[in-house]
Chain A
Amino acid sequence: MSQIINHPSVDVVVLGMGVVGGTVAVELSKAGYKVVGLERGPHWEFATDFFYTKFDEWGIGFMRKFDISLAITSSTLRNNSSQFALPIRRNTIGYSGQIISEGWGVGGMAQHYGGVMGRYGPWVYQVYSDTASKYGLGFLNAAVPHQDIIDWPMTYDDYTPYYEQWEKMWGVCGTNEGPLLSGFDNYSYPLPPAPTTPVGTAFKNATEALGYSPFPGPHALATQSFVNPYGVGVQECIYEGWCAGPCNYTCEVGAKANSDFRTIPAALGTGNFELRINSYIFRLDTDSSGNIIAARYYDEQGNVNVQPGTVFFNGLWGFNIVKLMMNSGVGNNYDPVSSTGSLGRGIAMGVPPPVRTATGILDNIGGNSYTCGSGYGGAYAIRDLCDDNFDHTGLNFIGGAYPEAGFYPGGGPNNFAFFADQPTPAMIGSTFKASLKNVFLPTKTLVALAPSGVSPPVTDWYIDLDPHYTDQYGDPLPRLTIDWTMNEVNCANYLAPKCADILTKMGASNVQVSPEITTPVSHNPAWQAHMRGGARIGSDSATSVFNKWQQCWTSQNLFAAGEICKPMGDNTTAGTHPIGPMSYVAAEGIKNYLKTPGPLV
């Protein structure tokens, strides 16, 4: 018979010990506050779980044993409100569809992410007002019908000091992001970039010759032995490369950053922080004013635990924040019909699939396919074709794309998984088998650039609670109603020829551009791994859930950070980097709140 266990109150309750939860835990416990961190998963034991003599590629890459089992909780997916949403019963098998399970355990999603970094540029923070003033609202509404874009509540310049704080703590490697991104005059990424691959060098030389400004693609990797400001460090990457690629393994030496190797140990070292694992958070208790009184969670024995606190920080992955808030009656649920409410509103896919691709073959470029660094290092990128860095007058899309080439492929032998989730009869028999001969020892290297544009939120897409499907505990699953737009397509159509020019300049042969596309990449319910929005920060409480301090408008002692909080994004990064500064803003907001409770805005 399960019972209810009541815990003594603490200053800060942190929900989720992933990327952002770790920041808040260490910052508040260092400041002398009593902090409890709740995590539904285990605390992985490095030697037992991650050591490379037990690289369980099937278990890690396909059974996703370091991610949450979908038998516990999942989500449902549909493209529009007229459809019945189907549950995600199983992860996608390969890379092209990134429905891979959420993080689970200390470190969260970052135990298996690719580690790609890259700041959002100034444009991302002010898409609505910039576009309206420069090109007119008519332009915006034509490029993105039903657009539901809001500005971030602070500018890129406001976030710059928090970006620096994050990068020095997380250990981001690179130099700068070129002359098109400000904030690097007296600053560069703390760690030097990983060695550039031959393909990366070819891209760098070609883009320079074309008048662009290439820079080493930043990523979250300790390219040197590194100690962060909390005194937590790791030895450098050993470049055996099983951490990237389609299966996105963990890093067994801690070089690819996650909170388990950057922030949590420092929090534990203060003596003010208690970590509780195997704690599945399912409800927030509120008082009559809407403030959070306690978090409720199930422990290993299924007991209901009640953890009261003064302040609560929601660091759950993605839509689980929305699921928890909706199930707890916190926030104002979005109604897509009347376009009122903010919780669940403003979602969009973070990384679009390749819509239109330019490809070329480089002969004898070298750089073996299987050897690898990590975190998608080794590449060069350009910002010249992203955001509003080129004139959009007369065009029919907003934003741009982020050509980058030369990544270490990585990922163990299962690079075949790049196509395994869309197998065709062409993969049967000797001809296909012959094409795999020496595929890891290429004398001809295919380089592909796919400049799919940014996916903006529209009023038709949202998260709500599914009326049919529940999790293991009986709570409704989050239902995602989401699709793609012509914005990604129009951008790809426009930029693909420019990408072909880059490939030609790289000396590629057989440079081809796939045909123009005339419809959205619709009915593709993938890429849930990089979804953003749903509990946006903003300046207007009508259209956002959290304010610029990451504080909930309707529950003053609730803070949050994560992809879910992003009003807008672009394709310069797969997503994690910009949530880092948000976590530092939240930590500061929480400290301010604890000194002076009340709305911070």
Chain B
Amino acid sequence: MEQQLSPILIIIPPQYVSALLKLHEKLEDKSKEWALSGDLGEALNGVRIKPDCVEIVTSKDGAEQIHEAVKEFRPEPIAYRVQRLTRNALVGNVEQPLYAGSHYFEFQIDGIKIKVNGDLQFKVNDWGWGDKFEFTPVWVYIVNKKTAVVPLHVKLELYQNLGWSDKVEKLNLVITNRERLFHQRVR
């Protein structure tokens, strides 16, 4: 099935569209910025990847604002959390534990898990927290709702720093392809 898909297409599972539209409804008049990250964010940039959840990055205030706005979906309480990622960073060919810290909560819309990260930061081993994960987003209209998405080149830099060469290779290919297809500098 993947081979049949034209390289110019963006494909995400349709149930994610509905869930995102419902989320937009709740956040319509909210002031804080938020963006889609994770696998869904990459898929919205043309990467052929099937997300298993919606990952949102925002500020701490943004996370609190979203938390309040989606209360009818009964989100778990928001709390600062440090999680160890299942995949290690690879630094100098040595695997190192990798952590993500954020003001965090989860909830579901129509069975789809939504993860919200406020002021997301990464840490390798005990070498200190990196800068807050900030960027200038790219924009995708989820139907008629303008939505911020993490740009691919930002993810690429992240993967480079993490030493995840398979992901670096995949994203490099997509970026290069799309630069050719769309005749634009993406980086």
Contacts and interface: CB of A to CB of B under 8 A. Distances in A.
Would A and B touch once assembled, by the CB under 8 A criterion?
Answer: yes
Interface in B95-148: 138-144, 146
Contacts of B14: 30, 229-231, 266
Interface stretch (B2-10, B82-90, B160-168): B2-10
B18 interface: yes
Nearest to A260: B6
Given A235-B178, A235-B182, A229 B9 contact: no
B40 to A, nearest CB: 11
A240 B10 contact: no
A514 interface: no
B79 interface: no
Given A224-B139, A266-B14, A268-B4, A232 B144 contact: no
B10 A225 contact: yes
B1 A231 contact: no
A231 B12 contact: yes
Contacts of B13: 231
Contact of A226 (B11, B16, B138, B140): B140
Given A52-B183, A238-B182, A238-B184, A168 B9 contact: no
A234 B8 CA distance: 6
B6 A227 contact: no
A220 to B, nearest CB: 14
Contact of B16 (A225, A231, A238, A266): A231
Given A227-B142, A231-B13, A268-B1, A240 B8 contact: no
A232 B11 CA distance: 5
A599 interface: no
A253 B140 CA distance: 15
Contact of A227 (B8, B138, B140, B184): B140
Contacts of B142: 227
Nearest to A44: B6
B140 A224 contact: yes
A136 interface: no
A225 B139 contact: yes
A235 B46 contact: yes
A108 interface: no
Given A227-B17, A238-B182, A238-B184, A232 B10 contact: yes
B146 A261 contact: no
A230 B143 CA distance: 9
Interface residues of A, number: 34
Interface string B44-83: 1010000000000000000000000000000000000000
Contacts of A226: 140-141, 143
B143 A227 contact: yes
A232 B139 contact: no
Interface string B1-42: 100111111111110111000000000000000000000000
B181 interface: yes
B44 A227 contact: yes
A172 to B, nearest CB: 10
Given A231-B12, A231-B13, A225 B140 contact: yes
Contacts of A30: 14
A224 B146 contact: yes
Contacts of A52: 183
Interface in A25-57: 30, 45-47, 51-52
B141 A227 contact: yes
Interface in A1-41: 30
A164 to B, nearest CB: 10
A265 interface: yes
A396 interface: no
Nearest to B12: A231
Interface string A226-258: 111111111100101000000000001110000
Contacts of A413: none
A191 B5 CA distance: 24
A253 B182 contact: yes
A231 B17 CA distance: 6
Nearest to B144: A190
Contacts of B9: 232-234, 254, 261, 265
A597 interface: no
Contacts of B10: 225, 227, 232-235
Q: Which 6 pairs of residues, A with B, have the shortest CB-CB distance? A: A190-B144, A233-B10, A231-B14, A225-B140, A46-B6, A226-B141
Interface of B: 1, 4-14, 16-18, 44, 46, 138-144, 146, 178, 181-184
28 contacts: A52-B183, A168-B144, A190-B141, A190-B144, A191-B141, A191-B144, A224-B146, A225-B138, A225-B139, A227-B10, A227-B12, A229-B18, A229-B143, A231-B11, A231-B13, A231-B14, A233-B9, A233-B11, A235-B8, A235-B10, A235-B178, A261-B8, A265-B5, A265-B6, A266-B14, A268-B1, A269-B1, A269-B11
Interface of A: 30, 45-47, 51-52, 168, 188-191, 224-235, 238, 240, 252-254, 260-261, 265-266, 268-269
Given A190-B141, A224-B139, A238-B182, 7 more contacts: A46-B7, A47-B7, A231-B11, A234-B8, A261-B6, A265-B5, A269-B11
